[in-house]
A and B are shown apart, each in its own frame.
Chain A
Amino acid sequence: MGSTSAHNNGGLGRRDVIKRSAALGLITVPTMGFLSACATSGGGDDNDKKTETPKGETSAENPLGVKNGAALEAFIFKGGLGDQYAKDAEADYKTKYKADVKHTGTQQVGPKLTPRFAGGNPPDVIDNSGADHLDMNKLSSQGQLQDLKALLDAPSMDDPAKKIRDVIHPSTLDKGMHGDKFDVLYYAFTIYGTWYSQKLLDAKGWTYPKTLDEMVTLCGEIKKAGIAPWTYAGKFPYYVHFNLFAQIAKIGGIEPWIAIDNLEPKAWTSNDAVKQVVEHYEELAAKKYFLEGSQGLTHIQSQTAWTRNKAVFIPNGSWVENEAAPTTPKDFGMAVGALFDGTGDKMPTGTLRGEPSEPYIVSAKGKNPTGGMELLRIMLSKKHAQNFATKVKSLTCVQDATEGMTLSPGLASASKAVKAAGPNLISLQLQEWYPALTDEKIGGLTGQLLTGDLKAADWIKKTQAEADKVAKDSSVAKFKRTS
Chain B
Amino acid sequence: MQHGKYRFIVGFLALPLIIYAIFVISPFIQAFQISLTDWSGLTGSSKFIGMDNFERLWESDDFWNALRHNVYMLALVPVITLGLGLFFAFMLNVGGKSKKNEVVTGVTGSKVYKFVFFFPQVISITIVAVIWFNIYNPDPNDGMLNSLLGAIGLDGLQNAWLGEKSLALWCISAVMVWGHVGFYVVLFSAAMASIPRDIYEAALLDGANRFHTFFKITLPLLWDTVQTGWVYMGIIALDAFALVQIMSVNMGGPDGATDVMPLRLYQTAFRDSQFGYASAMGIAMLIVTMTFALLTMRFARRERIEY
Contact = CB atoms under 8 A, between A and B. Distances in A.
Given A110-B271, A436-B271, 11 more contacts: A21-B9, A32-B29, A46-B45, A234-B160, A234-B250, A235-B162, A293-B163, A294-B138, A301-B139, A448-B165, A451-B160
Task: Give the one of A32, A144, A435 with max B CB within 10 A.
Answer: A32
A20 to B, nearest CB: 8
Contact of A234 (B29, B249, B252): B249
Interface string A106-136: 0000110010011010000000000010110
Given A44-B45, A118-B41, A295 B13 contact: no
A295 B161 CA distance: 9
Given A12-B6, A444-B255, A144 B43 contact: yes
B228 interface: no
A32 B25 contact: yes
A443 interface: yes
B249 A40 contact: no
Interface stretch (A23-31, A160-168, A177-185): A23-31
Contacts of A46: 43-45
A355 B164 CA distance: 32
A159 interface: no
B138 A24 contact: no
23 contacts: A12-B9, A28-B18, A33-B29, A36-B29, A40-B44, A40-B46, A41-B45, A134-B273, A135-B42, A144-B43, A235-B250, A293-B163, A295-B160, A295-B163, A296-B160, A297-B139, A436-B267, A440-B267, A443-B253, A444-B250, A444-B256, A451-B254, A453-B165
Interface stretch (B76-84, B140-148, B285-293): B140-148
Given A40-B37, A237-B250, A293 B44 contact: no
Q: Which 6 A-B pairs have the closest CB atoms?
A: A293-B138, A296-B163, A43-B44, A295-B163, A444-B255, A296-B138
Interface residues of B, number: 58
B253 A292 contact: no
A202 B38 CA distance: 58
A478 interface: no
Task: Give the one of A28, A237, A295, A439 with max B CB within 10 A.
Answer: A295
Contact of B250 (A44, A293, A443): A443
A35 B6 CA distance: 27
A447 interface: yes
Contacts of A296: 136-138, 160-164, 249
B44 A21 contact: no
Interface of A: 9-12, 17, 20-21, 24-25, 28-29, 31-33, 35-47, 110-111, 114, 117-118, 120, 132, 134-135, 138-139, 142, 144, 234-237, 292-297, 301, 305, 435-436, 439-440, 443-445, 447-448, 451, 453, 475-476
B117 interface: no
A444 B254 contact: yes
Task: Give the one of A111, A132, A440 with max B CB within 10 A.
Answer: A440
Interface string B1-33: 010011001100110011011100110011001
